């Protein structure tokens, strides 16, 4: 097996590097830790997102346009499907006690977001209005200036072998 220690970085693509730097440094408070000028005229910037991991962005003046509903979520939670090989969303780990304050900070900054903490459980709908013993993660969803769906997530319990109870689906079934 490989000696994987965790996520080093995820590399995304932005439409405007200055706007992206402002959002990730000024609103999310992630320090810009490395910048690279690419030989083809593009840029590659890295932000420290904690725990030794980074969120990185590529930018190219002539990059293809955004493709909501294909390469990114079109409208959460109503149109959340994305294409094979796309990134659906990026979740940042946060203490559960900090989620409500995160909502207020996003609101104050004018960032589009869910207006309540979402309680994910194993019910048919996958969410619950109220907190209960079956809620395994609580989340706040929002988007960055590039339309990338982001999440602040707090696990509310440790997983056990009983939490793995579904067979993997296949198109051939």
Domains with residue ranges and CATH for the chain: 1-65 (3.10.180.10), 89-162 (3.10.180.10)
141 within 8 A of 76, measured Cβ to Cβ: yes
154 within 8 A of 136, measured Cβ to Cβ: no
- Identify the helix (H) or strand (E) that includes residue 128: strand 127-128
31 closest CA partner among 13, 53, 11, 12 = 53
DSSP class of residue 66 equals P
| CA–CA dist 86, 72 (Å, integer) | 7
pLDDT at 78: 79
Q: Long-range contacts made by residues 78-82, C-beta under 8 angstroms, separation at least 24?
A: none
Q: pTM here? A: 0.89
| CA–CA dist 112, 119 (Å, integer) | 19
pLDDT at 50: 95
pLDDT at 173: 59
Q: With b meaning 16 or more CB within 10 Å and e meaning fewer, what string describes 90-129?
A: eebebeeeebeebbebbeeeebebeeebbbbbeeeeeeee
Q: What are residue 79's DSSP bridge partners?
A: 75
In tens digits, the chain (173 residues) has pLDDT values of 877 888 999 999 999 999 999 999 999 999 999 999 999 999 999 999 999 999 999 999 999 999 999 988 888 877 888 888 889 999 999 999 999 999 999 999 999 999 899 999 999 889 999 999 999 999 999 999 999 999 999 999 999 999 998 889 888 85
Write the CA distances from 66 to 16, 48, 103, integer angstroms: 12, 24, 26
């Amino acid at each position: 097996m490989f000696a994987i220690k965790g996520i080093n970085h995820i590399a995304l693509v932005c439409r405007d590097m200055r706007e992206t730097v402002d959002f990730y440094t000024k609103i999310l408070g992630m320090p810009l830790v490395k910048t690279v000028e690419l030989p083809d005229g593009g840029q590659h910037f890295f932000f420290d997102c904690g725990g030794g991991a980074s969120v990185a962005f590529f930018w190219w003046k002539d990059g293809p346009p955004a493709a909501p509903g294909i390469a990114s979520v079109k409208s959460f939670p109503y149109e959340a499907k994305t294409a094979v090989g796309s990134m659906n969303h990026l979740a940042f780990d946060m203490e559960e006690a900090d989620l409500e304050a995160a909502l207020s900070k996003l609101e104050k900054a004018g960032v589009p977001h869910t207006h309540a903490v979402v309680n994910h459980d194993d019910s048919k709908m996958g969410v619950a209005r109220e907190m209960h013993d079956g809620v395994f993660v609580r989340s706040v969803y929002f988007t960055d200036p590039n339309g990338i769906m982001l999440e602040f997530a707090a696990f509310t319990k440790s997983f056990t072998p009983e939490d793995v109870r579904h067979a993997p689906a296949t198109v051939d079934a």
